[in-house]
Amino acid sequence: MKRREFLKKAGVGLGASAVAMPAIAQSMPEVKWRLQSAFPKSLDTIYGAAEVFARYISEATDGKFQIQVFGAGEIVGTFQLADAVGNGTVEMGHATMYYYVGKDPTFAIASAIPFGPNTRQMNAWLYEAGGQDLLNEFFAKHGFFGLVGGNTGTQMGGWFRKELKTVQDLQGLKMRIGGLAGQVLQKLGLVPQQIAGGDIYPALERGTIDAAEWVGPYDDEKLGFNKVAPFYYYPGFWEGGPALHFFINNAKWNELPKSYKALATVAASHAGIDMTAKYDAKNPAALRRLVGAGAQLRPFSQEILEASLKAANETYDELSAKNPDWKKVYESYRAFRSEEYLWWQVAEYTYDNFMIRARARG
């Protein structure tokens, strides 16, 4: 049932004069914002979440609250977006917050760090274990307020020009990799490169970089990485359950009436569910197409995974020793992850493992 029809019918039971549409419309202030995504418009999954958010806000307010969505780089550069939102150049953004580790590594915990929780575990920490409250304390220091706005699910490990077998194969390898993962893998000899999504393909094609990770099969197919790098690795252990955020200039957020804040919170949650569902629905067929077109699927070796985990834990200990914001948020995050995997070991993993083996048997 459309919103207007619902309100009209509700008015009959409650006294039409009390909830007449003109009165409701008059109580809604006119608000016009701009939202810049950190992602290219070609990606209906991750960029599309911003459009879903804006559409629901508009429909629920009969067009009183309008949010114009811009693609990556249309107002400011992707890696300048946090500053632009904080200083009010643009009212809000949508991004994986690890893009801003150059400002403070604590931003990475808001999205994903190597060997972090999976998607459901991350959502549980953010929504139910105080994670988002801790992050908003941190975000406030940078001039904005965050709403959870999506998760891609566990990502792939990316596209490589050559096969990887040992840790030694990472030495000198130039790879586009986001967030804190680059700092972790730098300990193993990898040379991380920060490159916005729309610029990855030409860098890989020209040989400026040797490897690149993005999200997973559906997006990677759209971006064409399989055409210039044959080896497709998994899993993306640096993005086990990467969350995204809608982040809003503090002054603009505080100006909103309570009803608009509630609506934005619900719309962000809906856009996030929509994003995860899209990836889960679209990735299987895309993976089949990529392999059918010649992509060589490879798991990271146990040696690489173990060395990367050791490097990650060393990095986190170093950050905890010198960054109070990191330490405060990470301690909550780490403790919750440990408890969640206790539960996963009992039920989730056991069930999924059985079903995967059953599928393999046909």
CA distances from 196 to 71, 201, 223 (A): 12, 10, 12
Over residues 42-88, the pLDDT tens digits come to 999 999 999 999 999 999 999 999 999 999 999 999 999 999 999 99
Q: What pLDDT band is residue 27 in, cutting at 50, 70 and 90?
A: confident
Between β-strands 158-160 and 231-234, what pairing exists: parallel, antiparallel or unpaired?
antiparallel
Predicted pLDDT of residue 11: 42
Over residues 304-360, the pLDDT tens digits come to 999 999 999 999 999 999 999 999 999 999 999 999 999 999 999 999 999 999 999
Between β-strands 211-212 and 31-37, what pairing exists: parallel, antiparallel or unpaired?
unpaired
With a cut of 50, say whether residue 18 has pLDDT above it: no
CA angle (4, 7, 12) in 5-degree steps: 130
Q: Averaged over 279-299, what is the pLDDT? A: 98
Give yes or no for a cis peptide into 235 (omega within 30° of 0).
yes
- Of all residues in the chain, the percent with pLDDT exceeding 70 is 93
Over residues 87-121, the pLDDT tens digits come to 999 999 999 999 999 999 999 999 999 999 999 99
Q: What pLDDT band is residue 276 in, cutting at 50, 70 and 90?
A: very high
Predicted pLDDT of residue 189: 98
pTM above 0.95, yes or no: no
With a cut of 70, say whether residue 223 has pLDDT above it: yes
Predicted pLDDT of residue 26: 56
**Exposure letters 184-212 (e unless 16+ CB within 10 A, then b):** bbeebebbbbebbbbebbebbeeeebbbb
With a cut of 70, say whether residue 24 has pLDDT above it: no
CA distances from 312 to 92, 186, 272, 280, 317 (A): 31, 10, 28, 27, 9
Q: Averaged over 266-276, what is the pLDDT? A: 98
At residue 32, the 3 state secondary structure works out as strand
Predicted pLDDT of residue 25: 52
Amino acid at 90: V
Between β-strands 191-193 and 174-176, what pairing exists: parallel, antiparallel or unpaired?
parallel
How many Cα atoms occupy the beta-carbon half-sphere of 53 within 13 Å?
A: 38
Average pLDDT, the chain: 93
With a cut of 80, say whether residue 22 has pLDDT above it: no
With a cut of 90, say whether residue 10 has pLDDT above it: no
| Domains in the chain, CATH or no CATH each | 27-151+241-281 (3.40.190.170)
- Residue pair 198/43 in contact by the 8 Å Cβ criterion: no
Q: Which of 179, 184, 190, 216 is CA-nearest to residue 295?
A: 216
